[in-house]
Amino acid sequence: MTQRPDPHVTGTFPVKRGLAEMLRGGVIMDVVTPEHARIAEDAGACAVMALERVPADIRRDGGVARMSDPEMIEGIKAAVSIPVMAKVRIGHFVEAQILQSLGVDFVDESEVLTPADEAHHIDKYAFDVPFVCGATSLGEALRRVGEGAALIRSKGEAGTGNIVEAVRHLRSITGDMRKLTQADAAELFDWAKRLQAPLPLVQEVAKAGWLPVPLFCAGGIATPADAALAMQLGAEAVFVGSGIFKSDEPAPRAKAIVEATTHFQDAAILAKVSRGLGTPMTGIGMDELEHHYADRGW
Amino acid sequence: MYGVLALQGAFAAHRRRLAELGISSREVRTPADLAAVEALVMPGGESTTMSNLLGSSGLFDPLAERLAAGMPTFGTCAGMILLADKVLDGRADQRSFGVLDVTVRRNGWGRQLDSFETELDVTGFDGPFHGVFIRAPRVEAVGPDVDVLAFHGDDPVLVAQGALLAAAFHPELTPDPRLHERFVELVGSAAPETEEV
């Protein structure tokens, strides 16, 4: 049909961002075993995050949290057909090289693990695999986009089952985006300075009214209502970590959170799916916390 | 009214492309939403997730009826999988509507690291169309009533059959409006839906 050889280019930014676009409206679930991964896929997860311990256990155990064992990640990859993500420590580009060589579909440069570099995040343009990074503010989100992140998630406070920090971070990011759309050209220079973010990205947000990549929510979602709250506040998909497998009955809760994320504006459906799910994870108040993971990242 | 299936995936990008052509659309999540539309876009996303949600939202059966009655429908990526007659490498419980006479292999090009961009020659278009393939389905067989409108190498990547148009790639992720225009033409020329199935 064609005379010219078809180009076939992999690892480009549109291709990385493209997978983030495909995850919109979905739920990405933390899983620690192939069996968990299958429960997540059965429940309708659009992707799974393979890790050795859910954040609530990392918090309980203390010590240094690192990339998971490749064998464990491969076991999860083999168990499901949906995309598999895995976490690396902030700045630990060798862990990212290893995950890329394993063929994971997305790398999370995550504050839930113990940071490896106190000044630098990973140069994500150096990779073919897409990256997701956490952010507490618009400036932090745009710094990560500037480094090549294909997806941003608000950080919240992982492993707490408490949505309050996720709400704070989402409101901060979306609120500042709304303000940027009202700023004039001169004010944008000042915004870039205050946000400590690249000016061209600040100008892009001012014009588009949104980040150049999708914005998801993570950290503290424990119920279908939490997921719908994040979506109504502007998140385009949700990550659920400890909230599912630290609850009484993970499978029905996982399914309910998937349905709540799709039907996030329909209170009657939210009421229906919230019934009879057993006890959610107990959760932790912010004043009881020893470590705020959200403070990690620069 | 155009509808965009909004259970999960890249539905917002499709609505933007349609809006740029002056076409308003609504998101379809429930049977009531579906009843209000005359044409449907089924976007990319995770086909297993959508298959699940089609069941739990009560959409599967009414949507199957509308497709059988000839509702004009444009499926991209996961949307193509949902339309396909036969799905390889899907989950055992994964449901598809079986109205498009093709056999597709889920993630037939590989994992995300194998996702790619290319230029496509589309039948009837003057210049090449930029194709973004994300964990895309691979069409392994097409039936006699299916027109292949574009290939990548030897693989069909854009097909049409009656009121159906299906792409293995993502025209909603690139600014080129021509494929959405092609769908709008298809909707304009489609026969009215049959009352009885």
Question: According to DSSP H, which parts of chain B are helical?
Answer: 11-20, 31-35, 47-56, 60-69, 78-83, 178-189
Tokens representing B64? Answer: 């199957």
Find the catalytic residue in A87, A124, A155, A246. A87
CA nearest neighbour of B23 among B181, B171, B167, B186: B181
Contact B111 A128 (CB under 8 A): no
Contact B117 A9 (CB under 8 A): yes
Contact B151 A263 (CB under 8 A): no
Confidence of residue A139 (pLDDT cuts 50, 70, 90): very high
Contact A44 B52 (CB under 8 A): yes
Among chain A residues, the shortest Cα distance to B112 is held by A105
Global ipTM: 0.96
Among chain B residues, the shortest Cα distance to A101 is held by B113
Contact A7 B115 (CB under 8 A): no
Taking the Cβ of residue A10 and every Cβ of chain B, the question of whether any pair is shorter than 8 Å is answered with: yes
* Residue B31 contacts residue B59 (beta carbons within 8 Å): yes
pLDDT higher than 70, residue A2: no
Strands B25-28 and B39-42, sheet pairing: unpaired
C-alpha B24/C-alpha B4 separation (Å) is 10
Q: Tell me how many residue pairs between chain A and chain B have CB atoms under 8 A apart.
A: 139
pLDDT higher than 80, residue B13: yes
Measured between CA atoms, how close is B182 to chain A, in angstroms?
A: 20
Contact B46 A82 (CB under 8 A): yes
pLDDT higher than 70, residue A54: yes
Tokens representing B83? Answer: 């339309």
Contact B113 A47 (CB under 8 A): no
Among chain A residues, the shortest Cα distance to B88 is held by A81
Contact A11 B77 (CB under 8 A): no
pLDDT digits (tens, 9 = 90+) for B80-91: 999 999 999 988
pLDDT value at position B91? 87
- Taking CA A139 as the corner, what is the angle to CA A133 and CA A144, rounded to the nearest 5 degrees? 30
pLDDT value at position B93? 85
* Residue B103 contacts residue A77 (beta carbons within 8 Å): no
Measured between CA atoms, how close is B194 to chain A, in angstroms?
A: 30
Among chain A residues, the shortest Cα distance to B93 is held by A42
Strands, E assignment, A24-140: 27-31, 47-50, 84-89, 106-110, 131-135
Contact A105 B173 (CB under 8 A): no
pTM equals: 0.96
Number of residues assigned to chain B: 197
Query: For the range A282-289, what are the long-range contacts, defined as Cβ-Cβ under 8 Å and sequence gap of 24 or more?
Result: A282/A161, A283/A160, A283/A161, A283/A162, A283/A222, A284/A59, A284/A159, A284/A160, A284/A161, A284/A162, A285/A162, A286/A157, A286/A160, A286/A162, A286/A164, A286/A165, A289/A157, A289/A160
Give the residue-averaged pLDDT of B160-187.
Answer: 98
**Residues of B taking part in catalysis:** 77, 170, 172
Tokens representing A179? Answer: 């303000």
C-alpha A114/C-alpha B162 separation (Å) is 56
Distance of CA A287 to the CA centre of its chain: 24
CA nearest neighbour of B67 among B178, B152, B168, B190: B190
Strands, E assignment, chain A: 9-10, 27-31, 47-50, 84-89, 106-110, 131-135, 151-154, 215-217, 238-240
Measured between CA atoms, how close is B41 to chain A, in angstroms?
A: 15
Instruction: Enumerate residues 29 to 58 of chain A having a beta carbon within 8 A of any beta carbon in chain B.
Output: 41, 43-47
For residue A98, give Cα distances in angstroms to A122, A131, B84.
14, 14, 36
pLDDT value at position A282? 87
Distance of CA A293 to the CA centre of its chain: 14
pLDDT digits (tens, 9 = 90+) for A173-207: 999 999 999 999 999 999 999 999 999 999 999 99
CA nearest neighbour of A195 among A123, A124, A143: A143
Measured between CA atoms, how close is A116 to chain B, in angstroms?
A: 25
Q: What is the mean pLDDT of chain A?
A: 95
pLDDT value at position A4? 56
For residue A55, give Cα distances in angstroms to A28, A60, A77, A138, A281.
14, 9, 20, 24, 12
Which of B113, B114, B157 should be substituted to probe chain A, the one whose Cβ sees the most A Cβ atoms within 10 Å?
B113
* Residue A256 contacts residue A224 (beta carbons within 8 Å): yes
Tokens representing B15? Answer: 């609505």
C-alpha B68/C-alpha B100 separation (Å) is 10
pLDDT value at position B43? 98
For residue A9, give Cα distances in angstroms to A74, A124, A157, A206, B117.
26, 18, 38, 31, 5
Strand partners, A107: A86, A131
Measured between CA atoms, how close is A82 to chain B, in angstroms?
A: 7
CATH of B2-190, one of 3.40.50.300, 2.40.50.140, 3.40.50.880, 3.40.50.620: 3.40.50.880
CA nearest neighbour of B133 among B77, B191, B176, B93: B77
Give the residue-averaged pLDDT of B119-145.
Answer: 97
For residue A25, give Cα distances in angstroms to A92, A172, A236, A237, B164.
30, 21, 6, 5, 25
Instruction: Enumerate residues 173 to 212 of chain A having a beta carbon within 8 A of any beta carbon in chain B.
Output: none
Specify the residue for token string 């990548």.
Answer: B152
Number of residues assigned to chain A: 298
Instruction: Enumerate residues 224 to 253 of chain A having a beta carbon within 8 A of any beta carbon in chain B.
Output: 236
pLDDT digits (tens, 9 = 90+) for A207-235: 999 999 999 999 999 999 999 999 999 99
Ordered by start, the domain boundaries in chain B are 2-190
Q: pLDDT exceeding 70 applies to what percent of chain A?
A: 98
Q: Classify burial at B26, counting beta carbons within 10 Å of its beta carbon; exposed 0-12, middle 13-18, buried 19 or more.
A: middle
pLDDT value at position A1? 47
Strands, E assignment, chain B: 2-5, 25-28, 39-42, 73-76, 84-88, 100-105, 116-120, 129-133, 138-142, 147-152, 155-161, 164-167
Q: Classify burial at B70, counting beta carbons within 10 Å of its beta carbon; exposed 0-12, middle 13-18, buried 19 or more.
A: middle
Residues of B in contact with A100 (CB under 8 A): 113
Measured between CA atoms, how close is A14 to chain B, in angstroms?
A: 8
